[in-house]
Amino acid sequence: MSEDVQVSVADGIMTVTINRPAARNAVNRAVAVGIAEAMKELDANDAIHAAIITGAGGTFCSGMDLKAFVSGELPIVPGRGFAGIAEAPPAKPLIAAVEGFALAGGFEIAITCDLIVAANTAQFGIPEVKRGLAAGAGGLVRLPRQIPRRVAMELAITGEFISAQRAYELGLINRVVPAGTTLEAATALARTIAANGPIAVKASKQVVQQSQDWSLTETFARQQPFLDTVFKSSDAIEGAKAFAEKRAPVWKGK
């Protein structure tokens, strides 16, 4: 894996760090490939229960590396899209830990994640239009599903930024924490997730994501196959036993 992406795993939690601080962690081809490889490992490794993506040097990600783009390099992985993640996020929970700027493709990486923890000094935006480009890595399609449509429209066509507090008020991010503590806060959140039944967590994520496109009349029927997987698992029995016996459950992921 490229030095542009650093990956570590501890206590069932993967941390993926975009490591190009001199370029404000702009995404080039190497970063895209590195993130894609990390996401593949996340979903394939049963010992990993959740992941965090962050940026080195006090900035989350400034978006696509425009210098690389001008030279003809595209930070896209076939089948996974921009940054190796925009079109195919992992099945397991992913948390963005945002310090500084999450702009353009960086913002799109963040909103691809399931949860966002942001520093109180963080800023978000999709300023692609200011460079004659468009937020095609999810900004134009994911953002209107996560915040009010008119606010998403304003961000898309003005290219202006919003603060972490404004993003929190809009329901776009989960936690606002002091600058410099986002990774610590995201890790605490990941540990809470990792303590839960992995089959139940995965199924819950799938239903929450996919049900956005379900009609009300089909909702319960469409979610049933996911629930069958959960309730027929040995983990479901283990969870009930552990509760009755007043002990921590020992999950097997089966």
* Pair 88, 81: CB distance under 8 Å: yes
User: What is the spatial distance between Cα 82 and Cα 89, in angstroms, rounded to a whole number?
Assistant: 11
Question: 3, 37, 73, 128: which is the annotated catalytic residue?
Answer: 128
Active site residue 108: yes
- Please give the Cα distance from 248 to 220 (Å, whole number): 31
Say whether 128 is catalytic: yes
Output b/e per residue, 172-184; b: 16+ Cβ within 10 A.
bbbbbbeeebbbe
Please pick, among 3, 108, 154, 218, the residue that the annotation labels catalytic. 108
Q: Are 112 and 142 in contact (CB under 8 A)?
A: yes
The CA distance from 44 to 152, in Å, is 34
Among all residues, which ones are annotated catalytic?
108, 128
